[in-house]
Amino acid sequence: MNSYRELMTAGVLAAALAVGTIPARAQEAVAPPLQHWSFAGPFGQYDPEQLQRGFKIYREVCSNCHSLKLLSFRNLADPGGPGFTQAQAAAIAATFQVTDGPNDQGQMFQRPGKISDYFPPPFANDQAARAALGGGLPPDMSTLAKARGYDRGFPWFVFEAFTEYEEGGPDYIHAILNGYTDPPKGFVLPPGTQYNKYFPGHAIAMPKPINDGQVKFTDGTPETVDQYGRDVAAFLMWASEPKLDERKRLGFQVMIYLIVLSALLYFTKKKIWHEVELHPELEESRAPAEYGR
Amino acid sequence: MSGHATYEPRSPFMKWMERRLPIASLVYSSFIAYPTPRNLNYWWTFGGILAFMLTVQIVTGVVLAMHYTPNVNLAFNSVEAIMRDVNYGWLLRYIHSTGASFFFVAVYIHIARGMYYGSYKEPREVLWILGVILFLLMVVTGFMGYVLPWGQMSFWAATVITNLFSAIPAVGSGIVTWLWGGYAVGNPTLNRFYSLHYLLPFVIAGVVVLHIWALHMVGQNNPTGVEPKTEKDTVAFTPYATVKDAFFVGLFCIVFAWFIFYIPNYLMHSDNYIPANPGQTPTHIVPEWYYLPFYAILRGIPNKLLGVIALASSIIILAFMPWLDTSAVRSAKYRPLYRQFLFIFFAVVIGLGYLGSQEPAGGYVIAARLFTLYYFAFFLIILPLLGYFERTKPLPNSITESVLRKGAPIGASGPPPGGGKA
């Protein structure tokens, strides 16, 4: 017991020394506000309706510049996803034009998408994207929600392990969409950039992508940037982590199994060690090595 | 391995086998009858946990290798395909990536236990050195594994770490070119890292055999640091140690599963989900958490060559502990001063880890240097001197005596029982 306390004390002292010597860090980014996500927590699951709304936003807005190369139309009908049927996914695929070929004449050609196709990128290559968009390169969105985040620093990162916080990416994406404000007085924006409160360095090349009422929802969901941000961030989280539902469901079963197993092993251990802990050496005739046989 | 081969084959087949390949009696003497000190606490279960983790990593790794493509243009997407299209690929990959972290969690606890209870001391020097070699092999294997997904951090970690060799005078840049297989980190680098990442775990498994062999020659240390003297001081490995190990493997797996299923990306850097881009340096290159203390030592020293030397020395110096420590007493339980200095040492390593994760500026650098100073002073000044100045507490006469003193043994209201007089 004593040694644990000493270790804790020493640890706290070292941490205090480390933190105490820290210069005030240049504030490069503002912490994105925490949102409520249906897929947060040990029992969290995606909300298919939200993913469908998010997909609508991706399709009508984001996909004009951002590719989603690792996703296939068939994924739209995968379990734990937006919950489209195979027929719906195929119908969505057919509305996209996909480059195929070469054909018998050696020519590449355009055809309507099939369910097995991957989402076609908006630009032929990175150079074409840069040329069309004034130099900026919109990142591919397939893993975007896991490739972004915000480091809340010590001691928050310790708590995040316990609170099971893995929604830093969606929080950040939502914050970016809602972070377009006027720059503070004296802030010089480089040409071709906009001010964004939550973007590291604040000068973002992407113009404000979405405004209130831009994407129509038929189910009465508010058509606000705040809501759009949440829905598209949820969709992008699914695009990055399509097996999250399955992971958390299986995780719960594994946890129960391991807890029961450990409890059984604990009582087995107790039973096996019982005789040794009775101090059998008090009876000179028996040697401990013989116990349990 | 050591004696105690009391295995007697019963079935005709086992009798036949025993005369040709006595593997059953080897297993029997090493993992069943092997005498283990009766007073081992749960810190001793991490050796078994490490064996378990090595198995987990090899099994998941072999399956991942069936789906992974070591090519700079395909590697990132092949990992994503594992996550998306391979049956339970997401589980295999998250077990493997989180498993690397938990392998290091276990090895750090295992090393700390060895340092606390003086397990490196005579006659366990070779056992300890084999352990340091295993740790070095783990560091190299883990680093190469981190490069394979070919994300931004993979690429830039490979660039930074391989560039360390350029600090070596005269031959440095030649070595770096040789390591890369070209003039920059590229496809040949990824290919050889993949090959070595597949090879080294089996080298680790081989050295683990030596490590266990050496362990079984000298026997396990124990919390008192007093060698077992009579039969009473020990219990048979099976069932006593096995059930204890199994229980703690279970507890360890609960924490492991928490990370795999609920926060699989917590210990990874989000930049590694961005495909490697040699044209764009991340704002902040950090290694995996388990290298951070050593990274802080490296960065704290302004001269590149000296920094690299300090980095290498900080691990290699562990191998010299048996001779740097001049005290005759093993366990920190009976070494009040060593214990204090050791706890400060552990705290300093954790502190260095934190500093390694932060940008090297201002007070951070100063703190990292102070901690580095303590890190080396602990081995080079404190350990040698303590043996001469420290007043150690009286040792128990035997393991049994220490066990009996602790609790109130049934029926022992009188003088200390027989075991104590040995």
Least confident of A24-33, A142-151, B63-72, B145-154: A24-33
Cβ-contact B119, B130 below 8 angstroms? no
Domain identity same for B224 and B344: no
The pLDDT of A129-147, averaged and rounded, is 94
Inter-axis angle of helices B89-116 and B336-357, nearest 10: 150
Residue contacts between A and B (CB atoms, under 8 Å): 182
Domain identity same for B359 and B262: no
pLDDT interval class at B3 (50, 70, 90): very low
The token pair at B126 is 């070779």
Domain identity same for B253 and B311: no
Q: Which of A232, A261, A27 is nearest to B246 (CA)?
A: A261
pLDDT value at A15 more than 70 = no
Beta carbons within 10 angstroms of residue B363's beta carbon: 16
Residues 219-258 of A with CB under 8 A from B: 240, 242-243, 246-248, 250-252, 254-255, 258
% of residues, chain B, pLDDT over 70: 95
pLDDT value at B422 more than 50 = no
Nearest to A269 among B247, B343, B364 (CB): B247
Q: A268, B247: Cβ pair inside 8 Å?
A: yes
Question: Which residue from B minimizes the CA distance to A261?
Answer: B250
Domain identity same for B258 and B291: no
Query: Position of tokens 């044209």?
Result: B279
The token pair at B388 is 């001469």
Residue A26: its pLDDT value, please? Answer: 40
pLDDT tens figures, B90-117: 999 999 999 999 999 999 999 999 999 9
Question: Which residue from A minimizes the CA distance to B248?
Answer: A262
pLDDT value at B283 more than 90 = no
Q: B240, A273: Cβ pair inside 8 Å?
A: yes
Please indicate, yes or no, if residue B248 is contained in any of the structural domains. yes
pLDDT interval class at B155 (50, 70, 90): very high
Alpha-carbon torsion (B279, B282, B285, B289), positive or negative: negative
Beta carbons within 10 angstroms of residue B182's beta carbon: 12
pLDDT tens figures, A188-233: 999 889 999 999 999 999 999 999 999 999 999 999 999 999 999 9
Say whether residue A11 is in contact with chain B using an 8 A CB cutoff. yes
Domain identity same for B325 and B393: yes
Residue A18: its pLDDT value, please? Answer: 45
Please indicate, yes or no, if residue B241 is contained in any of the structural domains. yes
Domain identity same for B178 and B326: no
Most A CBs within 10 Å, among B86, B261, B283, to test the A interface: B261
Q: What is the spatial distance between Cα B265 and Cα B252, in angstroms, rounded to a whole number?
A: 19
Q: A272, B240: Cβ pair inside 8 Å?
A: yes
The pLDDT of A61-67, averaged and rounded, is 97
* Helix (H/G/I), strand (E/B), else coil: A84: coil
What are the Cα distances from residue B184, in Å, to B156, B180, B187, B195?
A: 11, 6, 9, 18
Separation in Å, CA of B162 to nearest CA in chain A: 25
Separation in Å, CA of B12 to nearest CA in chain A: 23
The pLDDT of A89-95, averaged and rounded, is 97
pLDDT value at A130 more than 80 = yes
Q: Can you give the CATH number for the domain in which B392 is found?
A: 1.10.287.980
Q: Can you give the CATH number for the domain in which B92 is found?
A: 1.20.810.10
* Annotated domain spans of chain A: 26-71+119-242, 251-290
Domain identity same for B358 and B215: no
B306 compared with A277, residue with greater pLDDT: B306
Please indicate, yes or no, if residue B416 is contained in any of the structural domains. no
The pLDDT of B201-228, averaged and rounded, is 96
Paired with A194 in beta bridges are A204
Please indicate, yes or no, if residue B410 is contained in any of the structural domains. no
Query: Which chain A residues touch B271 with a CB distance below 8 Å?
Result: 147
Inter-axis angle of helices A244-277 and B242-262, nearest 10: 160
pLDDT tens figures, B162-174: 999 999 999 999 9
Cβ-contact B233, B37 below 8 angstroms? yes
Domain identity same for B104 and B237: yes
Q: B264, A282: Cβ pair inside 8 Å?
A: no
Separation in Å, CA of B364 to nearest CA in chain A: 6
- Final residue belonging to a domain, choices B227, B252, B283: B283
| Confidence (pTM) | 0.91
* Complex-level ipTM: 0.91
Residue A148: its pLDDT value, please? Answer: 94
Most B CBs within 10 Å, among A269, A273, A275, A276, to test the B interface: A269
How would you class A84 by CB atoms within 10 Å of its CB: exposed for 0-12, middle for 13-18, buried for 19 or more?
buried
Separation in Å, CA of A13 to nearest CA in chain B: 8
pLDDT tens figures, B314-352: 999 999 999 999 999 999 999 999 999 999 999 999 999
Q: What is the spatial distance between Cα B30 and Cα B52, in angstroms, rounded to a whole number?
A: 17
Most A CBs within 10 Å, among B235, B249, B289, B348, to test the A interface: B235
pLDDT tens figures, B53-68: 999 999 999 999 999 9
pLDDT tens figures, B229-239: 998 899 999 99
- Final residue belonging to a domain, choices B283, B318, B348: B283
pLDDT value at A19 more than 50 = no
Say whether residue A201 is in contact with chain B using an 8 A CB cutoff. no
A20 compared with B287, residue with greater pLDDT: B287
Query: Which chain B residues touch A243 with a CB distance below 8 Å?
Result: 83-84, 90
Please indicate, yes or no, if residue B11 is contained in any of the structural domains. no
Question: Which residue from A minimizes the CA distance to B36?
Answer: A289
Please indicate, yes or no, if residue B219 is contained in any of the structural domains. yes
Most A CBs within 10 Å, among B77, B256, B267, B273, to test the A interface: B273
Query: Position of tokens 């490995």?
Result: B237
pLDDT interval class at B6 (50, 70, 90): confident
The pLDDT of B293-301, averaged and rounded, is 95
Query: Position of tokens 């740097």?
Result: B324
A24 compared with B43, residue with greater pLDDT: B43
Has domain A26-71+119-242 been given CATH number 3.40.50.1220?
no
DSSP per residue, A166-195:
--HHHHHHHHHHT-B-PPPTTPPPPTT-EE
- Final residue belonging to a domain, choices B261, B283, B305: B283
* Helix (H/G/I), strand (E/B), else coil: B25: helix
Domain identity same for B229 and B304: no
Say whether residue A200 is in contact with chain B using an 8 A CB cutoff. yes
The pLDDT of A39-50, averaged and rounded, is 96
Domain identity same for B209 and B84: yes
Please indicate, yes or no, if residue B242 is contained in any of the structural domains. yes
Residue A21: its pLDDT value, please? Answer: 40
The token pair at B293 is 């203390």
% of residues, chain A, pLDDT over 90: 79
Query: Running DSSP on this structure, what letter comes out for residue B235?
Result: E
Sequence-distant (≥ 6) Cβ neighbours of residue B213 within 8 angstroms: B1
Tell me the CA end-to-end span of chain B in Å, nearest whole number. Answer: 27
Please report which helix (H) or strand (E) contains residue B202, including its range.
helix B187-218
Q: Can you list the pairs that B187-195 forms with residues at least 24 positions away whose Cβ atoms lie under 8 Å?
A: B187/B71, B187/B72, B189/B147, B189/B158, B189/B162, B190/B70, B190/B71, B190/B72, B190/B75, B190/B147, B190/B148, B190/B150, B191/B70, B191/B71, B193/B70, B193/B144, B193/B147, B193/B148, B193/B158, B194/B68, B194/B70, B194/B144, B194/B148, B195/B70
Domain identity same for B279 and B294: no
Domain identity same for B353 and B263: no
- Domain span at residue B104 reads 1-6+21-283
The pLDDT of B199-211, averaged and rounded, is 98
Question: Which residue from A minimizes the CA distance to B253?
Answer: A258
Q: How many domains, in total, are found in chain B?
A: 2
Phi-psi region of B118 (alpha: psi -120 to 50; beta: other; left: phi over 0): left
